[in-house]
Amino acid sequence: MSSQNFRKPEFSRELRLGLVVYGGVSLAIYMNGVCREFYNAVRGRGIYKLVKALTDSDIIVDILSGTSAGGINGVLLSYALTNSSQDEVIDFENFAQIWRENGNIRKLMHKPSISQSKNDGESILDGKGYYQDALAKAFEQGQINKKKAPSDEWVSSFNELDLFVTGTDVVGRVDTVFDDTGRVIDLKDHRTIFHLKHRQGRKEPFNPNFNPNNSTVEDTYQALAKLCRITSCFPVAFPVVTVELDNPSNQVDAKLVEWGILKNRKLPETPPTGGYQLHFVDGGVLDNRPFSYTIKEMYYRADYYPVERKLFYIDPSPDNFAGSQKFNQMAKPDVWEVIQESLLGMPTYESISNDLGLIKDRNQKIQRYQSLLADAESPLFAKADNSQQTTLPVETGIYWRSRLISLRDRTLPLVLRMSQVSSTKSYQETLNNQVLLDKIAKLLTQHITEPEKRKNNDIIIQDPSQQISNIDIEYALRKHFYIVKKVCQLMNQEQSLSEYKTLQSLALRLGRHIKLLEVIKIALTKLLTHPHISQSFYDMISSFQTNHSSKSTDNLRREIYNRL
């Protein structure tokens, strides 16, 4: 029975994937397998071909970041993606042998030798002699073993890919700043990020045949292999990796200097004996979860047709603090536990809470922007007939909607007690509350497209807008601070003593108003977070959830505004 290959259609949208791969040598093979699935998704193999068909979407991976073993897998995935085309492929599957065969601890050990060298005792494992050469050989074999692309693939083409790989600079990047008094302050940063930009036809750092500055194919293999060493040279286990900053004959290090912008630093006025050099250890020492680079790069991607963006982070062994024995017993640590936690535990733990908060804030800004943009654009594209006219002027509607969005984002989390941590609240309950918060937040400010519903929605918005100042304390505070600032500016101008005294009295009265508003803000927060208030909101929302009609939705929106 023959299988029929269907030609890939022109999809109407694109799914762009970002990938963050954590460090962790013991789970490197697991992470390699996950990266292989992302490779198959881009190539449109197996189940991913069906996903593309069902979603009418191309799937591409265009931003990656990794540390240690995750950094190596990131380099391998980027290398396979950028060196594969519609007609021939470097199959990512073949790179699994790096971990299965070349990761053998016996092969990584230094070979015994009668002669002694100055490097003896530098590390347990042979990073430069075996590790780097094995990686370079894998990149070379990838090119040699290129094969014809399977005829049943639905490949998603792309022209851009960014890879971020971390390293730890032992010397550190020294910088000098000046405070307001002109005093010199020296700063030092040991974090280093290597940024490899693939731009089809212009910058192709993963392409061994794209060699500016007279570098060779072997230079590219060795540079990528040395980058893998830098991000994964765990202290003591592997030797420190040295990079020459200014040696024209060393094209391998020249590529690393370019990728890491390593020359942008202060250097000793007199060159050291061995020349200007930097020394690196494992990137996971200071930055084992490189989220921020991927997040920032996402915001600068251009969209040429409808795009949906997803960020994946591979955590093979996620932390579970709440259920641990240490958490449950809350025992006082002994002196050795204090030493261990102080030197190894707390300083090396890296939380991603700030990065997750950055993602959440960005998503909320996008939702606000889309809601306000829908109001602004609707009159521009509406037909000139009475059915499209609304009860609110465009400027007024946008203004009050933005005020309501701001009020909603501050008030709803308080009312729904999202920040209240309780030992009796389960993970599922917390998740359900977050889903409910997002649903209600969208309901309150969503754009209404039908003319009649839009009129009703404007009325619903207009009613609470007239009383919004009763609860929007933040707006009142901003207004008072602005007026106080203007009064103080007037006090700096030349004027009579009586005018100065009048302005000073006004500033003092405004200051007392600000203190009063701060007291009201605290009291209002306590009121909104009261369990009875919260429960009444949950009961009200639950009563409407069983009825999904448009009339019920409008009633719920009106009821929530009235309750606020």
pLDDT in tens, 17-67: 999 988 666 667 778 888 999 999 999 999 999 999 999 999 999 999 999
In whole angstroms, give the CA distance from residue 515 to residue 519.
Answer: 6
**Nearest residue to 317 via CA among 340, 343, 293, 289:** 289
Q: Are the CB atoms for 185 and 276 separated by under 8 Å?
A: no
Annotate 409-428 with DSSP letters as a single string.
HHHHHHHTTTT---TT--HH
To the nearest 10 degrees (0 to 180), the angle between helices 451-465 and 394-415 is: 70
Token digits of residue 258: 């370019």
Q: Are the CB atoms for 92 and 72 separated by under 8 Å?
A: no
Q: What does the pLDDT look like over 471-487, one tens digit per residue?
A: 678 888 889 999 999 99
Token digits of residue 223: 């540079």
Annotate 290-347 with DSSP letters as a single string.
-HHHHHHHHTT---SS-EEEEEEEE-SS----TTSHHHHH-PPP-HHHHHHIIIIIHH
**Mean pLDDT within 60-81:** 92
pLDDT of residue 148: 92
Q: What is the identity of the amino acid at 412?
A: L
Q: What does the pLDDT look like over 396-411, one tens digit per residue?
A: 666 766 766 776 676 7
In whole angstroms, give the CA distance from residue 355 to residue 325.
Answer: 28
pLDDT of residue 449: 44
**Mean pLDDT within 430-437:** 65
pLDDT of residue 82: 95
pLDDT band at 2 (very low <50, low <70, confident <90, very high): very low
As a whole number, the mean pLDDT across the chain is 79
In whole angstroms, give the CA distance from residue 7 to residue 49.
Answer: 11
In whole angstroms, give the CA distance from residue 166 to residue 288.
Answer: 8
pLDDT > 90: percent of the chain? 29
In whole angstroms, give the CA distance from residue 477 to residue 464.
Answer: 20
Task: Decide if pLDDT at 383 tops 50.
Answer: no
Task: Decide if pLDDT at 509 tops 90.
Answer: yes
**Nearest residue to 255 via CA among 313, 296, 298, 196:** 196
Kindly report the length of the chain.
564
Lowest mean pLDDT among 297-311, 365-379, 454-468: 454-468
Q: Are the CB atoms for 186 and 222 separated by under 8 Å?
A: no
Q: Are the CB atoms for 127 and 234 separated by under 8 Å?
A: no
Q: What does the pLDDT look like over 294-339, one tens digit per residue?
A: 877 877 777 777 888 898 988 766 667 766 777 777 788 888 888 8
pLDDT of residue 195: 95
In whole angstroms, give the CA distance from residue 340 to residue 323.
Answer: 21
pLDDT of residue 452: 54
The separation between the first and the last C-alpha atoms of the chain, rounded to the nearest angstrom, is: 66
**Mean pLDDT within 215-220:** 91
More confident residue, 104 or 163: 163
How do beta strands 88-89 and 147-148 pair? antiparallel
Residue with tokens 């599922």: 428
More confident residue, 28 or 252: 252
pLDDT > 70: percent of the chain? 68
Q: Are the CB atoms for 474 and 405 separated by under 8 Å?
A: no
The SS3 assignment for 46 reads coil
Task: Decide if pLDDT at 381 tops 50.
Answer: no
Task: Decide if pLDDT at 553 tops 80.
Answer: no
